[in-house]
Structure 1
């Protein structure tokens, strides 16, 4: 029973992780990224309040949950 619950959580977290990664913008901005690179350090303080910062935080949290559920599933399947 515990295996099934952890497996369902694992699948849902993996789907959420894929969606969050696909929603993020690419880091390469081309030549415009080189020109506006100095402004990024100034406005970087408020980055956590933007959609990009929220998506990065959600990616980190869901990746950690994915790894934890992977390890739990590996331990449960070994029994």
Structure 2
């Protein structure tokens, strides 16, 4: 069981790293000064690919923490 959880943990680590690197930065650059960052696409990010990446990152981070705690227990 411990070997299986370690393999899953390593896979989660690799996928989480890749997804974090694939995301865009949160800063809007100089466009934020003039309000250009508040476009239609900026307001509907939860439906875009970027929004999905944020949700996947959140779930993988939670899974990462849970697996790290479980693997740290001495059972």
Query: TM-score, normalising length from structure 2?
Result: 0.85
Rounded to whole Å, the distance in 2 between the matches of 1:42 and 1:49 is: 9
Structure 2 partner of 1:59: 57
**Match of residue 25 from structure 1:** 24
Q: What RMSD, in angstroms, separates the aligned Cα atoms of the two structures?
A: 1.9
The runs of at least 4 consecutive aligned structure 1 residues that moved more than 3 Å come to 40-43
Structure with higher helix content: 1
Q: Quote the offset at 1:73 in angstroms.
A: 0.1
Displacement of 1:43 in angstroms is 4.9
- Per the alignment, do residues 56 and 12 of structure 1 end up closer, same or farther by CA in structure 2, a change over 3 Å counting? same
Which consecutive residues of structure 1, in runs of 5 or more, have no partner in the other structure? none
Q: Does 1:70 align with 2:60?
A: no
Paired residues, what number? 74
Q: Summarize deviations over 1:22-69 as a string: whole Å, max 9, x none.
A: 0000112321132214x258952x321101101000100000000010
Provide the TM-score with structure 1 as the length reference. 0.82
SS at match of 1:25: coil
